[in-house]
Amino acid sequence: MMEAKETAYTLCPKFEKAFSILGKKWNGLIIDVLLQEKTQRFVDMAHKIPMLSDRVLTERLKELEKEGIVSKSEGLYQLTDKGIGLEEVLASVRNWSQDWVSEEECNFSNNSC
- Position 19 in a domain: no
Grouping H, G, I as helix, E, B as strand and the rest as coil, residue 78 is: strand
Number of structural domains (the chain) is 1
Q: What is the pLDDT of residue 110?
A: 54
Q: What is the pLDDT of residue 106?
A: 81
Q: What is the pLDDT of residue 92?
A: 95
- Position 112 in a domain: no
- Position 90 in a domain: yes
- Inter-CA distances, 50 with 26, 45, 56, 96, Å: 11, 9, 12, 24
pLDDT, tens digit only, all 113 positions of the chain: 556 666 777 889 999 999 999 999 999 999 999 999 999 999 999 999 999 999 999 999 999 999 999 999 999 999 999 999 999 999 999 999 999 998 888 866 555 56
Task: Tell me whether residue 86 is exposed, middle or buried, using C-beta atoms within 10 angstroms of its C-beta: 0 to 12, 13 to 18, 19 or more.
Answer: buried
The CATH number of residue 58's host domain is 1.10.10.10
State the residue range of the domain holding 47.
25-98
